[in-house]
Amino acid sequence: MSTSVAGVYALVNLLNGHKYVGSSKNCSKRHKEHVAALKNGKHFNKHLQAAFNKYGPDVWYFMVLAEVEESGLLDIENALICTGHYNVAPRAGCGPGPKSPSPLRGRKLSSEHIAKIKATKRQTCRKPEYRAMRSASQKGRRLTIETRNKLRVARLGRSTTKVRSEARIRQQTEVNYATKP
């Protein structure tokens, strides 16, 4: 296989003949990405990942089904995708994979929509059961001294009560640690 061929490919399970059909501008690179994600257990297609985990890495074969111009990749993939058993999406470019765009990317929300989102968040945060659940999740949590110092520094200048200088805080911290046994 040429290193930078654009086309439609398949990952074939040699034990049962099931396959995953995809397309790429660079099939060789895409093959390596699939293998790396599958071996690390991080593939976006959970069905393919489960099959890879079940059957192991040695039963898979990568083949280029058709070399295609970049402009026609998705058309040919859509024609061949019905033969893929591991494909989650019914057509190319609409599933969870790298080619599918986020449905909200680039979309401008109306002011009414933003107000509705804010109202929902406010209502959720004010519900007693939500607050109790969040409070319970923090009970018994111990922060390291390093984390406490980071939080303290982050809060400097944002205090609505008494604002203390960095030198004063350092002096108080030293006194507190010096008095502890």
- d(CA 91, CA 100) in angstroms, rounded, equals 11
This prediction's pTM: 0.52
pLDDT tens figures, 85-140: 888 777 776 655 555 555 555 678 889 988 998 888 887 777 888 888 888 888 88
33 CB-contact burial (10 Å; exposed 0-12 / middle 13-18 / buried 19+): middle
**What is the DSSP code string of 35-74?**
HHHHHTT--S-HHHHHHHHHH-GGGEEEEEEEE--GGGHH
Render pLDDT for 28-86 as a digit per residue (tens, 0 to 9): 999 999 999 999 999 988 889 999 999 998 999 999 998 988 888 888 888 888 766 88
